[in-house]
Amino acid sequence: MRPGQGRRAGNRLRLPGLVFIIIAMLLLMAALNTGNNLLFIVLGGVTSFVLMSVVLSSWSLRNVTLRRDAPYAVHRGEPFLIETRIENHKLSMPTIGLRVEAAGRDAESLGFIVKVPARRAAVLNIPYMLNRRGLHRIPAFRLATGFPFGLLEKRRRYDDELEVLVYPRIRAMRAAVVEKLPGPAGVARSAAADGEEYFSIREYLPGDEIRRIAWRISARLGVWMVREMSRQHSRFVIFALDTRWTPEVDRFPEHFEEVIEVVASLAVTLLKRQFNVGLVTPTGAVEGGEGVGQERRILEMLARLEPAPPEMDFETRLRKLESHEARLVCVSPDPALWGQRSTSGGLWILDPRETVHA
């Protein structure tokens, strides 16, 4: 069997088919009672329609394969396309009237293809959206056809292992809430927009002040560019995300997802500003780095993150990070700790309510 050949998923008798069957039964009873040859002829015609529908619909789905492709990762709540390729491997007969639907109790119609010629293929881009973070397996698709008369619908189910990783939702944020946090000893704090010396130039981001735009460079490049000024710029940040399950915290799952989105948004914002960003949790860590690759590593870890057991020791790891040259940003899903010092180490815990969306 070819890859993507599929398997039978049952038949469905449509309303016109039910009407034809009822008419055939009535004609059969009338023909047997009266012995009228004309009624037998009409009965044969009606029965032939039903038999042709069964045979031709089955033949239409023979040697038809379905393959799907989707992005490796998307953001939560972000629509994406599933490329569905339907190939007809028959030598001469086309496949007509195909409907693509999601397998399950509620057979949602996802698309329709009028005709796939013999030895040809049709591509259907089906919009899809996932609203939960994590690794998701896309439900199987089915192909259904009622060719040629629409009396009986034949179905085939196509299972594969198509998976999509869903990143946390990203929102544009200002980095001021991170820069206000006290840094480790010996590491200077980030300065405001009117710093003492030129640090770097980068592309404009929502929320940047207009007075920092480099007009000549922007005109030459055709893209808005801004200058970054600093006194003693600290561009190393480590997010310490406490994922330990706290039963006494009300609405813990909601707060857990909220702080993950805050960490993801701030990390992406800082990486786009050419910061060196790392991430540490009770169950793992991402070493500090820069650029698009580091953004993908952090988002992938956050996408797969689950609550950790409450007995795990996270304080020891935090104490080791206190001597690190990077600014340590502690985040907790417990609202009682937001904006307070942690019980161990005296580190400030970020308050997500103070984050400003650009």
Instruction: Specify whether 182 is located in the same domain as 315.
Output: yes
Q: What is the dihedral of CA 198, 204, 207, 210, to 10 degrees?
A: 70
Instruction: Specify whether 146 is located in the same domain as 279.
Output: no
3-state helix, strand, coil in the chain (%, to 5): 30, 30, 40
Look at residue 340 and tell me if it is in a domain: yes
Rounded to an integer, the average pLDDT of 5-27 is: 86
SS3 60: helix
Look at residue 269 and tell me if it is in a domain: yes
Tokens of 314: 């996270």
The pLDDT assigned to 196 comes to: 45
The pLDDT assigned to 71 comes to: 96
The pLDDT assigned to 195 comes to: 46
pLDDT digits (tens, 9 = 90+) for 102-136: 887 667 789 999 999 999 999 999 999 999 999 99
CA distance 144 to 216: 60
Residues forming a β-bridge with 12: 153
HSE-up of 19 (CA within 13 Å, CB side)? 6
Question: Which residue is listed with tokens 């984050």?
Answer: 355
The mean pLDDT of the chain is: 85
End-to-end CA distance of the chain: 54
Look at residue 186 and tell me if it is in a domain: yes
The pLDDT assigned to 105 comes to: 63
Residues forming a β-bridge with 66: 86
The vertex-19 CA angle with 14 and 24, nearest 5°, equals 125
Exposed/middle/buried for residue 293 (C-beta within 10 Å: 0-12, 13-18, 19+): exposed
Peptide bond into 148 cis (omega under 30): yes
| Residue type present at position 237 | V
CA distance 339 to 354: 9
Look at residue 195 and tell me if it is in a domain: no
Q: Which residue has the higher pLDDT, 224 or 73?
A: 73
Look at residue 217 and tell me if it is in a domain: no
Look at residue 253 and tell me if it is in a domain: yes
Look at residue 140 and tell me if it is in a domain: yes
Instruction: Specify whether 16 is located in the same domain as 133.
Output: yes
Among 117, 132, 166, which residue terminates a domain? 166
Instruction: Specify whether 147 is located in the same domain as 181.
Output: no
Query: Which among 91, 90, 84 has a CA at the least distance from the CA of 113?
Result: 84
Beta strand ranges found along 70-129 (DSSP E): 73-75, 80-88, 95-102, 109-116, 120-128
pLDDT digits (tens, 9 = 90+) for 190-232: 444 444 455 667 788 766 677 778 888 888 888 888 877 654 4
Instruction: Specify whether 144 is located in the same domain as 256.
Output: no
Look at residue 226 and tell me if it is in a domain: no
Instruction: Specify whether 34 is located in the same domain as 60.
Output: yes
pLDDT digits (tens, 9 = 90+) for 244-260: 988 888 889 899 999 99
Residue 265's H or E segment, with its range, is helix 252-272
Total number of domains constituting the chain: 2
- Provide the residue range defining the domain that includes 318: 176-190+234-354
Largest CA distance in the chain: 108
Residue 152's H or E segment, with its range, is strand 152-158
Q: pTM for this one?
A: 0.78
CA distance 39 to 60: 31
Instruction: Specify whether 99 is located in the same domain as 74.
Output: yes
